[in-house]
Amino acid sequence: MLDKTSDIAIAAESWLAEFESAIAARDDGALKNLFLSDSYWRDALALSWTLQTLNGRDAILPALKAQAAKAKPSGFVVDPDRAAPRKVMRAGIDCIEAIFKFETTVGRGDGVIRLIPDADDSGRLKAWTLLTALEELKGFEEQLGVNRPRGNAYSRDFRGPNWLDLRKASNDYVDHDPTVLVIGGGQSGLCIAARLKQLNVDTLIVDRMQRIGDNWRKRYHALTLHNQVQVNHLPYMLFPPNWPTYIPKDKLANWFESYVDGLELNFWTSTEFEGSTYDEAQGRWTVTLRRGDGSRRIMHPRHVVLATGVSGIPNIPAIPGLKNFSGKVVHSSGYDDGENWKGKRAIVIGTGNSGHDIAQDLYSSGAAVTLVQRSSTLVVSIEPSAQLVYTPYNEGTLDDNDLIAVSMPLKVARKSHALTCNKSADLDKELLDGLRGIGFKLDFGEDNTGWQFKYLTRGGGYYFNVGCSDLLIKREIALKQFSDIDTFVAEGARMKSGEIVAADLIVLATGYRPQEELVQKLFGDEVTRRVGTIWGFGEEQELRNMYVRTGQAGLWFIAGGLAQCRIGSKQLALQIKAIEEGLIPRHVGATTEAAIA
């Protein structure tokens, strides 16, 4: 492996030059010599107009040639404005990593190449992983920096509408409909609306809450984000440098209001999405919105983006005898503040983040708390263990780190997270041994891939310890297993042993129903069937139906944490803009003269 910085850069430039020549000539032999047999190519829209991952040289080369023949990529060079080529370790493997740029017939792209020596070919450097990602569409660049809206300082209409008048007219939609309707005003809705705004696509966010940010503001009193501030920026407006490492919920909620105002996003609060139908011939929806004053508005957007998050409809499991309980039962989504339960007794069912945090909040308020575990749970200390997956974000630029995150193929990412999970378990050994000692059931995710893959596959099942595990180990919060409960009675939970665990409050920290159920409720059975499974990884090694065209034309999904939404919103917005400009068809697999894939 090369050591000198100059040699590393030369090696990266040389590989890119050979790659461009081989692609242009469609030279099978030359391309084969550039990739390891066990290599990976991830394309984020640049050549395929979708998110796709291919494993192995034999699968990569035919697809690469076919898609490159349409997209005609060229100009592959190391990007001088990005992090310089360097030696790094990814998923336990030493490699040369370089960020490059290129162009296609319709866009400009960024990419990441990782090179390692091929032991079967005299140590020649070959591609282990390759990312090609669409950055912008030619002629439709984001309205930022030098492309910002300018206006004319010398042609003001002193009697005409000013900026505020124009903003109000834009947001009121009295005489026009939006091109895109976004359902949900949390981080996913704000991110996609902000991206579309910069691409000059008319977009309206609707949310049933009374105030922008209420999706965070109305959560339980003690909530803060569990990952650090440098990971969580929204597009275009970074958090101020004096913000705390872990952002409190109300601070984030207030920032959402500032974000909507600063980026001039159109947003209707207290608005319910009541239903819709899609007109295939006209390529638009007919949607019914109910405003806070009870009035209804019919709109005809061409695109609907469901941005309600992974957590949609609360999951209320059928629990034997729960209807007999004489106290209060509330789902975690409706829990507010433990101060209301000082001196009372509470049972919290569920051992994910919400269950642990609510149990600790109740305990800190003076309640006697029993935490009930339904299934094994991954526990990781919030520092340093839970933050290890975000280590790259502690240095370098946000754009570089986002691109590196996108560049990790699923199989490589799983291996990387398994290594991190093992390190976390070593760091947390004393904590985990203490939990085992009280009978807490632990797991480390599928194939020990850790908490983030638990989130990506099932949306929960883990806890970042901020103190509740310690309280459990010291038995200051009691632990019971759900399997040991016989039934619920008026006084609380009756165990199979005959013991009664008395309670005044039962909190169901039992998660949320699959997003398909929300789709069925809002769009009906046929649309649900066309779309299929949402979230989790499918055979294509990508999150299913997330950030890409779906089986239902004009219906899109975006969800995830702030970082995921920041990244995914860019990919989603570029596709909507491409459809609006006739570059790609509305349907996956359809054709259009201007489409490059």
What CATH class does 165-312+514-580 carry? alpha beta
What is the radius of gyration, based on Cα positions, of the chain?
A: 26
The pLDDT of residue 592: 43
**With 80 as the cut, is the pLDDT of residue 163 above it?**
yes
Per-residue pLDDT, averaged over 502-518, amounts to 93
Which structure tokens are listed for 589? Answer: 């697999």
Phi, psi of 239 (to 5 degrees): -60, 145
The pLDDT of residue 287: 97
Ranges assigned E (strand) in 184-283: 203-206, 266-268, 272-279
Residues 211 and 271: beta-carbon distance below 8 Å: no
The pLDDT of residue 153: 57
Per-residue pLDDT, averaged over 176-191, amounts to 97
Per-residue pLDDT, averaged over 171-188, amounts to 96
The pLDDT of residue 155: 61
Q: What's the order of all strands across the beta sheet hosting 478-481? A: 328-331, 505-508, 345-349, 368-373, 478-481
Could you give the percent of the chain with pLDDT greater than 90? 86
Domains 5-137 and 165-312+514-580 share a fold: no
What CATH class does 5-137 carry? alpha beta
User: Residues near 409 by Cβ (< 8 Å), separated by ≥ 6?
Assistant: 40, 41, 42, 53, 55, 129, 541
pLDDT range class, residue 154, cuts 50, 70, 90:
low
The pLDDT of residue 458: 84
**With 60 as the cut, is the pLDDT of residue 591 above it?**
no
pLDDT tens track for 315-362: 999 999 999 999 999 999 899 888 999 999 999 999 999 999 999 999
pLDDT tens track for 37-57: 999 999 999 999 999 999 999
**With 90 as the cut, is the pLDDT of residue 209 above it?**
yes
Least confident of 184-198, 215-229, 235-249, 490-504: 215-229
pLDDT range class, residue 219, cuts 50, 70, 90:
confident
pLDDT range class, residue 596, cuts 50, 70, 90:
very low
**With 60 as the cut, is the pLDDT of residue 593 above it?**
no
User: Residues near 213 by Cβ (< 8 Å), separated by ≥ 6?
Assistant: 252, 253, 254, 255, 256, 257
Map out the domains of the chain as residue ranges: 5-137, 165-312+514-580, 322-508
**With 50 as the cut, is the pLDDT of residue 427 above it?**
yes
The pLDDT of residue 253: 97
Residues 553 and 587: beta-carbon distance below 8 Å: yes
Residues 213 and 249: beta-carbon distance below 8 Å: no
Which structure tokens are listed for 541? Answer: 């090694």
**With 90 as the cut, is the pLDDT of residue 146 above it?**
no
Architecture (CATH level 2) of domain 322-508? 3-Layer(bba) Sandwich (3.50)
User: Residues near 64 by Cβ (< 8 Å), separated by ≥ 6?
Assistant: 23, 31, 41, 47
Could you give the percent of the chain with pLDDT greater than 70? 97
pLDDT range class, residue 3, cuts 50, 70, 90:
low
Q: How far apart are CA 179 and CA 170, in angstroms?
A: 12
pLDDT range class, residue 22, cuts 50, 70, 90:
very high
- The total number of residues shown for the chain amounts to 597
The pLDDT of residue 549: 96
pLDDT, averaged across the chain:
93
Phi, psi of 513 (to 5 degrees): -75, 155
The pLDDT of residue 595: 40
Single pTM value for the model: 0.93
pLDDT range class, residue 311, cuts 50, 70, 90:
low
Q: How far apart are CA 288 and CA 168, in angstroms?
A: 22
The pLDDT of residue 589: 60
Residue 536 CB neighbour total at 10 angstroms? 14
pLDDT tens track for 444-487: 999 999 999 998 988 889 999 999 999 999 999 999 999 999 99
